[in-house]
Amino acid sequence: MENLYSNHAPWEFEVFNNEDLPYHTFLYKLPVSCNYPPEPIQYNSSDGNEDDIVQLPYCVINKEVGNKYWNSIVESLSHPIQSSQELELAIKRYNKRVREFTALHYFFQVVDEGERNNFFNNLLPKIIKLALRLPELVSTNIPILKQNSCRSVSVSQLQVSSLLANAFLCTYWGAGTCPGINFDKLFNSHARPKREKCVLEKIRTLCHYFERITYKEPVGAITFERQYFSNDLPSWHNSTHCIKDTKICVVSNGLIENNSDGFLQVDFANKNVGGGVLGYGCVQEEIRFIISPELIVSRLFTEQLGPTEALIITGVECFSDYSGYGDTYTWKGNYQDTTPFDKYGRRRTSIVAIDAIRFTKSTEQYKANNMLRELNKAYAGFYCKLKQPPPIATGNWGCGAYKGDPKLKSLLQIMACGLCNRDIVYFTFNDDQLCKNLQEMIDFLVRNDITIGQLWKYLCWFSETKLKADRLYTFLQYIHFNTEKHPEEEMHNFSDKQMQNTVPKVIRRNILMNDDIVDEDLSLLFNVQ
């Protein structure tokens, strides 16, 4: 890991200049002191095409309707609320679309009396007060980060807290083209007994966030940047970049969010950012969003990610410690984030959301067009204009429920890092065998000066075989040595003995060893007669 810092301290990596981002919107004034919250920019939020901006609850649809709706919110929340049933009734007075609060009711049945009394007598009134400050804190249009566009927005942490307080109180009229941010889906998540505990722990984690930010106002800022590529993607088969030119560290212990200070941390995202964070979901992405709830606000203004798009988020704070995963997720208490700020008031924590393909059949992932999609997706997330960008911190992206193969996904991410001029640390999450196998594969690629272009060709050739996934690394080594020794030889007659008893045949058709069939990436599907 020390080698990846290249004589930098963790927080000395160059950061991008916010003011140079195209189509960037600031919701707060510069400069930022980090001693008190940034001052909000004030102007009439009724301006702009309503399809391109977030419909905030105080100006939903238009000013007249918005005023009426907002007044109903203020009126409904002005009365004392002493139970979750009363909270649900108050919310349904202004938003009849919300679900039943079955999980929230159960939460207050199982917590102790002191926690319950503290919430209704102390915390909830503060959440309501914070939510009702929205017209004061956010009177600026929030742009929707739309599909097929490069656009970004910077928001203060205090502005985010008011937006999230409104999400807690389900004041948003509708999600539009974005995933949605109202908490009623989480409050309703009580139909799966196996997820009962983790849903309660997620609610507890979110309550802790509101305890923190209502006790002391946060002073930082956060940037949300949508990065999109159309026709300017790499020609992977032509790349002469050697794998050895990328510094690669593979570790079995540690977590992305805890052990990669200053790196760009990969969020194994859903195409709707946040995935099931406001429902039953409680794996890598959802846990990251729960312990750093400011990430959730991205669901308010980020449309579904396309195949060559990513969302980069800089400046979020971590508020909670946790243990477990999935059904066993447990809030462990307060976390004090000591990450320093940059000149824009953002904590120097950057996260990139990239969504992998969800496969119904795991064998589909080895098809060349699917591998190409994952390569381009990783490139969209890792690309950066900085001369010396910070390394990538990642792991088994798109594996688990998405049925990805970490042996393949690790290589694709390493290849994307190479063309983005970024080093990489890969966490195998306590899988010692994967750590060993991947390190051996990397050593092979480095020792033999294998380029990204070569590796891509080999992976495409593997897609034309009937080999099982566990033969991938064996195949890559074998094919490299044999194509080096016999570049003109047909590759369809390898015997069991030649493959060291791994497969009866490696290639089911002739693979021509020339560049005529690789002039375009998609031609690597090898439609060879």
DSSP letters spanning 275-303: TTTTTT--SHHHHHHHHSGGGGGHHHHBP
Burial class (CB in 10 A: 0-12, 13-18, 19+), 338: exposed
| Residue 464 known to be catalytic | no
Q: Which of 184, 201, 286, 423 is catalytic?
A: 286
* Contact present, 404 and 396 (Cβ < 8 Å): yes
- Distance (Å) of CA 270 to CA 275, 288, 307, 329, 521: 5, 13, 12, 19, 26
Q: What single letter denotes the amino acid at residue 257?
A: E
Catalytic residue among 225, 285, 303, 423: 285
DSSP states of 223-262 as a string?
Answer: EEEEEE-SS----GGG---BGGGS-EEEESSS-TTTS-TT
Does residue 520 carry a catalytic annotation?
no
Alpha-carbon distances, residue 305 vs 139, 179, 239, 299, 529 (angstroms): 27, 11, 27, 11, 37
Joined together, the tokens standing for residue 169 give 């109180």
d(CA 159, CA 137): 6
Q: Is 284 flagged in the annotation as binding? A: yes
Specify whether 521 is catalytic.
Answer: no
**What is the rounded end-to-end Cα distance, in angstroms, of the chain?**
48
In the structure encoding, which two tokens stand for residue 238, read together?
A: 């032509």
Catalytic residue, chosen from 225, 261, 267, 309, is 267
CA distances from 314 to 71, 225, 351, 377 (A): 34, 8, 6, 19
What single string gives the DSSP state of each residue in 79-120? S---SHHHHHHHHHHH-TTPPP-HHHHHHHHHS-HHHHHHII
> Which residues are bridge partners to 435 per DSSP?
none
Neighbours of 386 (CB within 10 A): 13
The CA angle 218-220-226, to the nearest 5 degrees, is: 125
| Pair of tokens at residue 250 | 């593979």
Ramachandran area for residue 510 (φ above 0: left; ψ -120 to 50: alpha; else beta): beta
Binding-site residue set for substrate = 270, 284, 325
Q: Active-site residues: which are they?
A: 267, 285-286
Binding-site residue set = 270, 284, 325
